[in-house]
Structure 1
Amino acid sequence: MVGSLAFNQIPQFLAPSNCITEPSEHKLLEQASSSSLLPFLRQLSSIEEFKKVHAQYIKLGLDRIPRHAGDLLLACTISDWGSMDYALSIFLTLDEPGTFDFNTLIRGYVKHHEPEAALIMYKEMQERSVAPDNFTFPFALKACAVLPAIREGTQIHGHVAKLGFECDVFVQNSLINLYGKCGEIELASKVFDQLGSYRTVASWSALLAALTRMSFWGECLTLFATMTNEERLRADESSMVSALSSCTHLGAYDLGRSIHCSLLRNTTGLNIIMQTSLIDMYAKCGFLEKGIKIYEKMPEKNAWAYSAIISGLAIYGEGKRALQVFESMLKEGHKPDEAIYVGVLSACSHAGLLEEGLHCFDRMRFEHRITPNSQHYGCMVDLMARAGKLEEAYKLIMSMPMGPTDTAWRSLLSACKIHGNLELAECACRNLMQLDAQNSGDFIILADMYAKEKRWDDAARIRTEIANKELTQIPGCSAVEVKGRMHIFFSQDKSHPQSEEVNEMLYQMEWQLRFERYTPDTSEVFNDVDEEEKKVLLRGHSQKLAIAFALLNTSKWSTIRIITNIRMSRECHTYTALISGIFGREIVVRDRSRFHCFRNGECTCGEYW
């Protein structure tokens, strides 16, 4: 910021960068007497060239003139070839460094990813009684945000208030960003509210990013609507990315699509960040093919773009297509990173590609020299356990260099339920308790497994333990978007305004299912009640309520898209597949871990999930 202000005030007086020559001493003096030498210094291509020019400065005594010494310092810190060590050596030769010099060094340390050094320089500035200005605080606060260092940031906030910069929008935006990245959403909101009419698009963008980072997806979209509809502000790129991220997590396709349309109307072209956000949004809102089209039209791709499309394919069980994208990425010369390998291994897990997954795990370690982290091990445990290799998965957990994680044990526990291994399920639960990471869902899985074996006393004991530990039970729910509004249903829910119509539709659906010789599978209902009561419980499942509501309120032949917060049961899977065939509707369900796409009575998962 400081450099750009100085640069814009100086006329260009030298030849273009492709024909730079070292100036003579006479020419250097002549130019220095009339204006700053910063434009020339910025056009240098290496630190070696800069050192030669610096030597001339010293020989001519220009380095003793504050204005030209500042140019040297600024060029050495903000240029791509800059060196903070060399910049510090210049700084130390200054007799009385001023605010501009300290700002330049603080800015340079932030740019060169040395936030601790930036804060040390800010502290020295205070000790020397050099007054900070409105350019000092944004860089110092950014250093705190990067670390993150909330205590130091709060202290700097005190300096901001003491020196009267509470109405400086750039400083206040930096405070919003700081508190947002430190997870202090209330403090970020307080600074935002205090700005009042001084708020800029950047202020809104900073708070939207803070809400997104804290997973306040609904609040983010509400604020975005206020910004664009009530305040009539045009959202910038950062705001759009935050809103798209919220749409992605909530499955709010209609709003995500409207943001995409707004981008197409108001921008000449989408950069990689925006395109990647759109790929992620479409894939996770049930429109994988739209995400793939954006991906295929991208003129250039980076690791984020590949990661987004591979992860998108993974959650649809498109493991082989994900591996094809991965291979094309390698052929194009891109180097995979940890995040991409998480997507690749996850794709193998969801598609049941055991051998391919093991091969990729070896390639990651031995070919690309990437040390597996807990996520990679979690994917491998999930892959092996889903494939029925429960003992091998257990051994892998016990061999994890960082020690067993709750994610790994939870993956094994879920697979134990699928494959009916009660002994290993008990082991997984014990280890989750030792890690103090158990939640109600873990206990419920074990209780259901006991109930399936008719061990009612053990099932009751586990449920009593849930109550004694005061573990919150998150109820299963399903949401469906109709005309831009999300409608949420809980099992046995009768609170919706159209509850009577939904129940009537459920009876019609069951009547149609009889012709398909469908009978409710009560084997996964572990309540100690009679068969008829079990059938009533199955009829009121949240996913079935959402499907019935969608059939009532969406146009014929349109795709029904549902989000549920639990893993889909086999009974619901069979039911939904049959309904898709009977009513001729495509039904896309996003459960806790993946997508199921039902068409003509079949699901793309191939009965493997």
Structure 2
Amino acid sequence: MMGTSVLNYNHHLLPSKDLPQSSSELNLKQKEQEYLCLVKKCKSLEEFKQVHVQILKFGLFLDSFCSSSVLATCALSDWNSMDYACSIFQQLDEPTTFDFNTMIRGYVNNMNFENAIYLYNDMLQREVEPDNFTYPVVLKACARLAVIQEGMQIHGHVFKLGLEDDVYVQNSLINMYGKCRDIEMSCAIFRRMEQKSVASWSAIIAAHASLAMWWECLALFEDMSREGCWRAEESILVNVLSACTHLGAFHLGRCAHGSLLKNITELNVAVMTSLMDMYVKCGSLQKGLCLFQNMTRKNQLSYSVIISGLGLHGYGRQALQIFSEMVEEGLEPDDVTYVSVLSACSHSGLVDEGLDLFDKMKFEYRIEPTMQHYGCMVDLKGRAGLLEEAFQLVQSMPIKANDVLWRSLLSACKVHDNLKLGEIAAENLFRLSSHNPSDYLVLSNMYARAQQWENAAKIRTKMINRGLIQTPGYSLVEVKSKVYKFVSQDKSYCKSGNIYKMIHQMEWQLRFEGYMPDTSQVMLDVDEEEKGERLKGHSQKLAIAFALIHTSQGSAIRIIRNLRMCNDCHSYTKLVSMIYEREITVRDRNRFHHFKDGNCSCRDYW
């Protein structure tokens, strides 16, 4: 019977040829119920049209209940057709609130958000009053389009109709303002709610996550857990995982993983991929690999995440092996996968392999290189010291280079002390009206290293005149499930005296192992003693000292930095790992460094 038309299968419901023209009201009511039952069983638009013809033939469509049911089936079924639903809707003389809600919801489900808002306005013009089912859907349309002006007007309508205390409407308003980047309004609505649901918490946490307000995400999750009235749903835990990923909060991420296992029977591919991403970016590559290997189903994104993770940790060869396994499994790499594998080659100095993959991407898989792919290639050549080749690629590529590519070249010029090419890269950045203060500081520091103090001062003055303020370098360290933040020369903690005592003790022991502060990393025109004092206060050293004081002997230390690690901190941390017998994992702006027994996983290539 599979594939048989609903009408054929239910032939006894079709009108009899000898049925009297003037059927009784009872018969019509029965016939209406029979046809509505058929409508719900339709599995395609073709079947639906056959039933719809019969409904029209019997004049059943004139009944508002029947017409609304027919419209809802056409607009909201899996096989829906909004074009056909629109033709049905236009036949209604006086569409009801339910009919408008059906059409608005159908448009939103079909990602046609503009038509959803247009139809809502039409609803108001026809003086059909919206209800509490209208607003969650139309606000979702505003959220997806990020049209805050329309969203605010609709918020005003909510107040006029007295629906501001409806929890579903409130949750939708929180979501809409969050997607429109007005977090203050989202928080104001959330605070005013007398009764919150788990969806309310999900909406406010998602609003903060969309703005990368990771600390606030974790604080809200903690508040929700403290109240103990709700069990965290999947969407909340995924956002918490994202927060842990960005903050490097490994232990908190593990707790979120535990909550997922408790609350959800089977984790889907998207959640498993988020977990894997969290572990590899919090420094636990082995845990991430274990999850990857245990996944029953993998997609391109799963492979991209683990390939990127291996690259960040300096395991470029293994990343290439996973990439080969993906192709052998019959999964065709996409543009995202190629960004991951090219980046892995860059971090491990696999220049020839990266060039070969770039050619295969273009000619074998017919993937047009994007700015990200060219960025990976510039980074690959720049890190390897092939600065002229990197510069030629930037000049010859078919799309105009953006600030990211010029910044990558400038950074490579700084690492390899090529001031001449660095000036060209910086000039192009300034021409692009760069508002990134680090661009000015990198060039200024290059002038300072060349002892061109006047030029260094000019660049810094230019930066200040443009009102640009550099974000201070900071390091995050997790101790006893709490994340602590240190900035360079930080003395804000109440126990900072103990930290600086520990720094002094560490440096004293390191000198016995041959450590000498690399004062060339201090780009200030001061004496050597002052430079040495400056180096002591680097945020990474403060974080390590704090962790050594407050964690047990032999336990691992995990640190996240917002800037690239300097040479002095790198040499310093290698020796600390050996003297204090600690494994220290540091994630800087570009990659991971695993320090153990006086060695680093990057093999001094970063």
TM-score strictly above 0.5: yes
CA distance in 2, matches of 1:44, 1:329: 40
CA 400–512 in structure 1, closer or farther in 2 if over 3 Å, else same: same
Higher deviation after alignment, 29-38 or 543-552: 29-38
Contact 1:394–1:412 at 8 Å: present in 2 too?
A: yes
CA 324–513 in structure 1, closer or farther in 2 if over 3 Å, else same: same
User: Which amino acid is the alignment partner of residue 587 of structure 1?
Assistant: I
Q: Secondary structure at the match of 1:407?
A: helix
- Which residue is equivalent to 1:59? 57
Q: Alpha carbon RMSD of aligned pairs, Å?
A: 2.4
Q: Pick from 592, 596, 601: which aligns with 1:595?
A: 592
- Which residue is equivalent to 1:287? 284
- Which residue is equivalent to 1:171? 169
- Which residue is equivalent to 2:88? 90
Q: Pick from 423, 426, 433: which aligns with 1:426?
A: 423
Contact 2:38–2:51 at 8 Å: present in 1 too?
A: no
CA distance in 1, matches of 2:259, 2:598: 37
User: Aligned runs of 1:244-263 on 2, under 5 Å?
Assistant: 244-263=241-260
CA 56–323 in structure 1, closer or farther in 2 if over 3 Å, else same: farther
Higher deviation after alignment, 212-221 or 302-311: 302-311
CA distance in 2, matches of 1:274, 1:505: 41
- Which residue is equivalent to 2:531? 534
User: Aligned runs of 1:490-501 on 2, under 5 Å?
Assistant: 490-501=487-498
Quote how far apart the aligned CAs of 1:581 are: 1.7
Q: Secondary structure at the match of 1:22?
A: helix
CA 98–347 in structure 1, closer or farther in 2 if over 3 Å, else same: same
CA distance in 1, matches of 2:401, 2:62: 61
Whether 1:342 aligns to 2:328 is no
Q: Secondary structure at the match of 1:268?
A: coil
- Which residue is equivalent to 2:119? 121
CA 252–161 in structure 1, closer or farther in 2 if over 3 Å, else same: same
CA distance in 1, matches of 2:319, 2:51: 52
CA distance in 2, matches of 1:370, 1:223: 42
- Which residue is equivalent to 1:100? 98
CA distance in 2, matches of 1:592, 1:313: 16
CA 264–93 in structure 1, closer or farther in 2 if over 3 Å, else same: same
- Which residue is equivalent to 2:373? 376
CA 34–46 in structure 1, closer or farther in 2 if over 3 Å, else same: closer
Quote how far apart the aligned CAs of 1:21 are: 6.1
Q: CA-to-partner distance for each residue in 1:567-586, whole Å, 9 max, x for gaps?
A: 01122111111221222211
Could you state the TM-score of these two structures normalised by the residue count of structure 1? 0.92
User: Which amino acid is the alignment partner of residue 516 of structure 2?
Assistant: T
CA distance in 1, matches of 2:54, 2:327: 48
Contact 1:38–1:75 at 8 Å: present in 2 too?
A: no
CA 454–47 in structure 1, closer or farther in 2 if over 3 Å, else same: same
CA distance in 2, matches of 1:191, 1:36: 46
Q: CA-to-partner distance for each residue in 1:387-420, whole Å, 9 max, x for gaps?
A: 2222232233234544221111111110000111
Percent identity over the alignment is: 54
CA distance in 2, matches of 1:493, 1:302: 44
Quote how far apart the aligned CAs of 1:246 are: 1.1
- Which residue is equivalent to 1:27? 13
Quote how far apart the aligned CAs of 1:422 are: 0.7
Higher deviation after alignment, 383-392 or 598-607: 383-392
CA distance in 2, matches of 1:591, 1:327: 28
Q: Pick from 436, 441, 445: which aligns with 1:439?
A: 436
- Which residue is equivalent to 1:309? 306
CA 156–338 in structure 1, closer or farther in 2 if over 3 Å, else same: farther
User: Aligned runs of 1:171-320 on 2, under 5 Å?
Assistant: 171-195=169-193, 197-230=194-227, 232-320=229-317
CA distance in 2, matches of 1:590, 1:437: 26
Quote how far apart the aligned CAs of 1:208 are: 0.5
User: Which amino acid is the alignment partner of residue 22 of structure 1?
Assistant: N
Whether 1:586 aligns to 2:583 is yes
Higher deviation after alignment, 567-576 or 491-500: 491-500
CA distance in 1, matches of 2:160, 2:328: 57
CA 398–489 in structure 1, closer or farther in 2 if over 3 Å, else same: same
Q: CA-to-partner distance for each residue in 1:418-451, whole Å, 9 max, x for gaps?
A: 1111111111111111111142211121111112
User: Which amino acid is the alignment partner of residue 425 of structure 2?
Assistant: A
Contact 2:32–2:66 at 8 Å: present in 1 too?
A: no
- Which residue is equivalent to 1:136? 134
CA distance in 1, matches of 2:502, 2:591: 27
Q: Secondary structure at the match of 1:132?
A: coil
CA distance in 1, matches of 2:312, 2:602: 10
Tell me, which stretches of 5 or more residues in structure 2 are unaligned? Answer: 16-26
User: Which amino acid is the alignment partner of residue 50 of structure 2?
Assistant: K
CA 420–65 in structure 1, closer or farther in 2 if over 3 Å, else same: same
Higher deviation after alignment, 541-550 or 173-182: 541-550
Quote how far apart the aligned CAs of 1:42 are: 4.4
CA distance in 1, matches of 2:382, 2:267: 41
CA distance in 2, matches of 1:140, 1:38: 28
Whether 1:577 aligns to 2:563 is no
Contact 1:36–1:67 at 8 Å: present in 2 too?
A: no
Contact 1:509–1:579 at 8 Å: present in 2 too?
A: yes
- Which residue is equivalent to 2:67? 69
User: Which amino acid is the alignment partner of residue 44 of structure 2?
Assistant: S
Quote how far apart the aligned CAs of 1:84 are: 1.4
- Which residue is equivalent to 1:5? none
Contact 2:253–2:278 at 8 Å: present in 1 too?
A: yes
Contact 2:60–2:66 at 8 Å: present in 1 too?
A: yes
CA distance in 2, matches of 1:339, 1:79: 33
Tell me, which stretches of 5 or more residues in structure 1 are unaligned? Answer: 1-14
Quote how far apart the aligned CAs of 1:221 are: 1.1
CA distance in 2, matches of 1:340, 1:606: 25
- Which residue is equivalent to 1:555? 552
Contact 1:310–1:325 at 8 Å: present in 2 too?
A: yes
Higher deviation after alignment, 315-324 or 393-402: 393-402
Q: CA-to-partner distance for each residue in 1:543-571, whole Å, 9 max, x for gaps?
A: 11211221222112211111112101122
Q: Secondary structure at the match of 2:558?
A: strand
- Which residue is equivalent to 1:8? none
- Which residue is equivalent to 1:12? none
Q: Pick from 71, 75, 78: which aligns with 2:76?
A: 78
CA distance in 2, matches of 1:436, 1:170: 44
CA distance in 2, matches of 1:319, 1:32: 70
Q: CA-to-partner distance for each residue in 1:40-87, whole Å, 9 max, x for gaps?
A: 444433322322332333333333333232232222222222221122
Could you state the TM-score of these two structures normalised by the residue count of structure 2? 0.92
CA distance in 1, matches of 2:128, 2:320: 57
CA distance in 1, matches of 2:241, 2:543: 24
Contact 1:25–1:56 at 8 Å: present in 2 too?
A: no
CA distance in 1, matches of 2:172, 2:214: 22
